[in-house]
Amino acid sequence: MTELLKGKPVADRITIEIAEKAENLKASGVVPTLAIVRLGKEPGDISYEKGAVKRAAEAGVEVKSLVFDRDMTQEDLIAEIEKLNEEDSVHGVLIFRPLPKHIDEKAVCEVLDPAKDIDGITSGSLAGIFMDSDVGFPPCTAAACIEMLDHYGYDLKGKKVTVMGRSLVIGKPVVMMAMRRNATVTICHSRTTAEDFAAAGSNADIVIAAVGKARMITEDMLGEGQVIIDVGINMDENGKLCGDVDFDRENPDEGIGAHAAAITPVPAGVGSVTTAVLMKHVINAAEKAADRV
């Protein structure tokens, strides 16, 4: 029977650990604070913000929400981010993306101080991941994949890990993080041949799926006894939320579930862990800032 790797116990454990750290920071006069920058009222942003605010309250993190019009100019947005960089009371900044089309997203992200970049959007943070240095933070979803594996006791050392997807948000950073844990990593993307994709999937001990295609990863692309981390959040043809992996959570012992040792469900898997990781990064940023004083 496959083990269902749910996100909630992972998120709850992280929250308890960081709440203690938040208390210690507050006792020394530092209130860990996250600034959320939102342009307009995109439903996805509002719903993520709601979850983040709830998680922040549990973790002892203050949230400062900055809401601007969606037609705000790039110059004004950059000026706001520069102000947040200078504000000592703000330790982490989350900018909701995608930004509206008239704004050069990369230019805006680059203005953020990597020390406050708690979701890995600056090249400073990405360089930090690639160089194993202490600059910035990895993107929360990539970090959440590793948190899931750690929590459920799956050591990556010497394991064959196949990462499906090579985005800067998930695929590439997770490759570097798995390599840092001494995994042997294979990465697949849209130009990988179907034959190589299936071979890389079948041959792995651990599969991390982040292609963003509903149930694209089928039984014939996977092997026996694997640990599968499904990062995908997609809508299927019936408007139902599903992952990238063709796993039927209603019938977990059939199909892929009959062969996998463990798998993260969608929903209630990796997605449930990202806001806890976000708060962990804020606490970490606050600790680093306190050390610098």
The binding site for ligand NAP (CB under 6 A) comprises 141, 165-167, 169-171, 188-192, 210-213, 216, 231-234, 270-271, 274
Other Cβ atoms less than 10 A from the Cβ of 76: the count is 10
Q: Are 14 and 58 in contact (CB under 8 A)?
A: no
- Cβ of residue 227: shortest distance to ligand NAP, in angstroms? 17
Nearer Cβ to ligand NAP, position 30 or 281? 281
Question: Which residues, listed in sequence order, are joined to residue 35 by a DSSP beta bridge?
Answer: 64, 93
CB of 263 to ligand NAP, least distance (A): 14
- Give me the least distance between CB of 215 and ligand NAP, in Å please: 11
Q: Identify which of residues 23 and 196 has a Cβ nearer to ligand NAP in the complex.
A: 196
Which among 289, 292, 285, 278 has a CA at the least distance from the CA of 136?
285
Short-list 283, 291, 285, CA closest to 115: 285
Q: Which is nearer to ligand NAP, 226 or 274 (CB)?
A: 274
How far is the C-alpha of 137 from the C-alpha of 246, rounded, in Å?
Answer: 31
Using DSSP bridges, classify how beta strands 227-230 and 3-4 pair: parallel, antiparallel or unpaired. unpaired
DSSP, collapsed to helix, strand or coil, labels residue 15 as helix
Contact 83, 75 (CB under 8 A): no
3-class SS at 280? helix
Query: Shortest Cβ distance from residue 223 to ligand NAP (Å)?
Result: 17
Least Å distance, CB 30 to ligand NAP, is: 28
Residue with tokens 């922040």: 56
In the complex with ligand NAP, the residue whose CB is nearer, 115 or 209, is: 209
Q: Name residue, tokens 């360089």.
A: 127
Q: Which is nearer to ligand NAP, 159 or 166 (CB)?
A: 166
Pairing, β 234-235 against β 241-242: antiparallel
Q: Taking the complex as a whole, how short is the minimal distance between the CB of residue 79 and ligand NAP, in angstroms?
A: 28
Between residues 41 and 191, which has the closer beta carbon with respect to ligand NAP?
A: 191
